[in-house]
């Protein structure tokens, strides 16, 4: 890899309307084909109309993935079969390592700006798909900040470093595939240059227009970046985005609803385990 090679956009992926849970309206990007490995799916929940999300996500199972939920406005109340019960609000995150199995529910809350948040799915390596389930909340004040020029990076997890070498590490240190996730806010004429050499790198713009290596990306699009070691972000009018970085597992992916395994035999076993009550045992 050439030193100081700016990473450029290889593909732009448009989010599309969908719904999940009890009729919750979302914008979704899914890549179960492995093109964003180790990331599988990104959902954006955002509405000022309670009817778009009031039904929430009643109890449902997961196996074989990690989920990361991050709230910009409003909140989510989580409960699971392990006995965890907690609420995250603006700026907070929750992480689940579903492993062998977890059954949980997520019920949305609102604030004066409605509800706006994200849920990211990360694929677990084959060796970890039947491991013990875990859960963790992270509060906004636990997340370190890295300053740019009229810009700020909030580190949810993983390591982040400016080109001058100044760096921070987010509190979520067990993201699958050496994953790293950050929220970047740019004011008008804001700029931020990061040293990022991970094989997988993607940027999801959710407010304003962002320039990535000089190419404009509108809100609602995810930019999948090519090889290099420098991520250059800028905005003339201001923008916000999520930045995702990780190392591919390069393993087969079999997906059915809330289950992600390596082959369909394992999916069938997950379904049998859920039906006969041994799913989380």
Q: Is 1 part of a structural domain of the chain?
A: no
Q: What domain range is 49 assigned to?
A: 9-266
Q: Is 3 part of a structural domain of the chain?
A: no
Q: Is 259 part of a structural domain of the chain?
A: yes
| Overall number of domains in the chain | 1
* pLDDT the model gives residue 242: 98
Which whole-number Å values give the CA distances from 112 to 17, 116, 238, in the listed order?
Answer: 24, 11, 22
* pLDDT the model gives residue 53: 67
* pLDDT the model gives residue 58: 84
> Mean pLDDT of successive 10-residue segments in the chain (281 residues)?
80 92 82 97 82 74 97 93 93 97 90 88 98 96 98 98 96 98 98 98 98 98 98 98 98 97 98 91 67
* pLDDT the model gives residue 176: 98
* pLDDT the model gives residue 56: 73
Confirm if 120 and 46 have CB atoms less than 8 A apart.
no
* pLDDT the model gives residue 2: 47
Rounded CA-CA distance 197/38 in Å is 15
* pLDDT the model gives residue 1: 41
* pLDDT the model gives residue 57: 80
Rounded CA-CA distance 204/245 in Å is 12
pTM of the model: 0.95
Q: Is 20 part of a structural domain of the chain?
A: yes
* pLDDT the model gives residue 47: 67
Q: Is 192 part of a structural domain of the chain?
A: yes
Q: Is 196 part of a structural domain of the chain?
A: yes
Rounded CA-CA distance 66/100 in Å is 11
Instruction: Please report, for the domain that includes residue 130, its CATH number.
Output: 2.60.120.10
Q: Is 93 part of a structural domain of the chain?
A: yes
Q: Is 132 part of a structural domain of the chain?
A: yes
* pLDDT the model gives residue 46: 81
Please, which residues bridge with residue 223 across strands? 12, 203
Confirm if 36 and 248 have CB atoms less than 8 A apart.
no
* pLDDT the model gives residue 5: 95
């Amino acid at each position: 890899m050439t030193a100081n090679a700016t990473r450029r956009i290889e593909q732009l992926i448009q989010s599309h309307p969908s719904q999940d849970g009890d009729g919750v309206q979302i914008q979704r990007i899914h890549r179960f084909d492995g093109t964003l490995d180790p990331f599988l799916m990104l959902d954006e929940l955002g509405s000022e109309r309670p009817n778009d999300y009031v039904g929430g996500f009643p109890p449902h199972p997961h196996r074989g993935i990690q989920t990361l939920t991050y709230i910009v406005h409003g909140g989510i109340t989580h409960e699971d079969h392990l006995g965890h019960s907690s609420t995250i609000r603006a700026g907070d995150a929750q992480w689940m390592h579903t492993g062998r199995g977890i059954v949980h529910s997520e019920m949305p809350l609102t604030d004066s700006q409605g509800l706006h948040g994200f849920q990211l799915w990360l694929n677990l390596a084959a060796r970890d798909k039947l491991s013990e389930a875990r859960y963790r909340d992270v509060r906004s004040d636990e997340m370190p900040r890295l300053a740019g020029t009229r810009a700020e990076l909030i580190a949810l997890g993983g390591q982040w470093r400016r080109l001058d070498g100044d760096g921070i590490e987010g509190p979520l240190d067990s993201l699958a595939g050496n994953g790293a996730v950050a929220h970047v806010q740019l004011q008008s004429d804001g700029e931020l240059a990061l040293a990022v050499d991970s094989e997988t790198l993607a940027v999801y713009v959710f407010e304003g227009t962002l320039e990535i290596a000089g190419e404009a990306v509108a809100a609602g699009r995810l930019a999948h970046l090519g090889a290099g070691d420098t991520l250059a972000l800028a905005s003339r009018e201001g923008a916000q985005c999520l930045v995702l970085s990780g190392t591919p597992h390069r393993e087969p992916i079999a997906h059915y609803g809330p289950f992600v395994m390596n082959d369909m035999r394992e999916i069938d076993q997950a379904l049998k385990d859920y039906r006969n009550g041994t799913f989380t045992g």
